[in-house]
Structures are given as structure tokens and as C-alpha cells.
């Protein structure tokens, strides 16, 4: 039939995987579309929350992972706040993102953020410029966080090693440098 897509075979094993990973509200969705109507991202992107949830219900794995839709969500929770069925959409999206990352879909900017955490305990870099800014407002140049304690940073590094996060993020051959930030 012209203009219509070919019917897809559902894959309920994949659906079950999402639900077993904490997305157990997935099958409560009745496709009313309140989520899409409430989504600030949908005004400017191709993300259609209702459709994404339908694809997840049917386990249409390839369709879910073949676009950037999953990453257009700011996790603002409007959909969850308004859903008449209590579907925890943001959590389902996060579970799907975890799966996408395992498949190798990790933006370079995100890889950097994660690298900063592994190297410093913080998600953004810190350098001389920022130290000076802190001094100007009367603060210690270095905040009393992992940046001030080798022992604390060691703990963070041990945790990410234990969970495999370091490998997940760096992949096989990409190394992350801890660049000093020149930003204000």
C-alpha cells in the first residue's frame, strides 16, 4: 500500500528487557498522546514521545536506536507529571539510553563529560582561571571536593573501574585527556 509503512514484527523479548530494567510502567500506556503534547522538545525536534513509547511497547529495537530521538529529551518530566496512566517516560528513556550507549552510541561531548568525572570527580574541567575566580569571591582556590582529596578521587576511580564505566566510556582505543578549561 503506497504511503504506508510495512507492518513490523513485534519483539516482546526486548519489551520485557526494558520492563525488567525498571521500566515496568511501560505497558500501562494507552497512547493518548498527552506526553507528546506536553513535550517542549517535540516543538522543535522529531521526538514524538507517544510514538517512542509505542515502539518500546512493541520492542522495535532497530527503529528506536536508528535515530537521535532518545537524546532529544531534556528529562523535564512534563510527560510523567501529566500522564494519566503513570507511565514513567523519563526513566524508560534513560533505560533505552543505557542500552544505546552499550551499543556504542555515545556523543563525543558526553564522552568528555564522563572522562572528566573519571579523572577529577567533576563533570567539567577545572584550572587556574577558575581558581582565580574563586579567590576573587573570597573562596578557597580549590573546593573541598575530590579536587582537594587524593583519597576521595581514588575512591571514585575505584568505583568506576568496578562498574566498568571507564571501559564503557573510553571504548577500545579512545583516550580522554583532562584538558584544562579556558572558559570563564
- Residues near another protein (CB under 8 A) are 21-22, 40-41, 43-45, 68, 71-78, 80-81, 88, 90, 94-95, 97-98, 101, 106-107, 109-110, 112-114, 117, 121-124, 126, 130, 133-134, 136-139, 143-146, 148-149, 151-156, 158-165, 168-169, 183-184
The nearer residue to another protein, 16 or 134, going by C-beta atoms, is 134
If the CB atoms of residues 22 and 54 are measured against another protein, the closer one turns out to be 22
Nearest to 58 by CA among 97, 16, 99: 16
How far apart are CB 56 and another protein at their closest, in Å? 16
Distance set, CA 9 to CA 61, 122, 138 (Å): 11, 44, 63
Burial class (CB in 10 A: 0-12, 13-18, 19+), 165: middle
Tell me whether residue 65 or residue 71 sits nearer to another protein (CB atom).
Answer: 71
Amino acid at each position: 500500500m503506497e504511503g504506508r509503512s510495512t507492518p513490523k514484527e513485534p519483539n516482546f523479548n526486548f519489551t520485557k528487557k526494558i520492563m525488567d530494567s525498571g521500566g515496568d510502567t511501560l505497558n500501562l500506556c494507552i497512547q493518548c498522546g498527552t506526553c507528546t503534547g506536553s513535550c517542549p522538545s517535540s516543538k522543535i525536534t522529531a521526538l514524538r514521545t507517544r510514538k517512542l513509547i509505542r515502539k518500546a511497547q512493541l520492542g522495535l529495537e532497530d527503529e528506536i536506536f536508528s535515530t537521535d530521538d532518545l537524546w532529544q529529551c531534556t528529562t523535564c518530566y512534563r510527560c510523567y507529571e501529566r500522564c494519566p496512566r503513570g507511565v514513567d517516560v523519563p526513566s524508560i528513556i534513560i533505560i533505552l539510553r543505557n542500552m544505546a550507549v552499550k551499543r556504542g552510541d555515545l556523543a563525543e561531548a558526553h564522552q568528555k563529560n564522563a572522562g572528566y568525572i573519571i579523572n577529577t570527580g567533576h563533570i567539567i574541567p577545572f584550572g587556574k582561571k577558575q581558581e582565580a575566580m574563586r579567590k576573587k569571591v573570597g573562596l578557597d582556590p580549590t573546593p573541598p571536593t575530590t579536587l582537594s582529596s587524593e583519597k576521595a578521587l581514588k575512591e571514585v576511580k575505584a568505583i568506576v573501574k568496578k562498574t566498568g564505566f571507564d571501559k564503557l566510556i573510553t571504548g577500545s582505543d579512545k583516550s580522554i585527556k583532562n584538558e584544562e578549561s579556558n572558559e570563564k
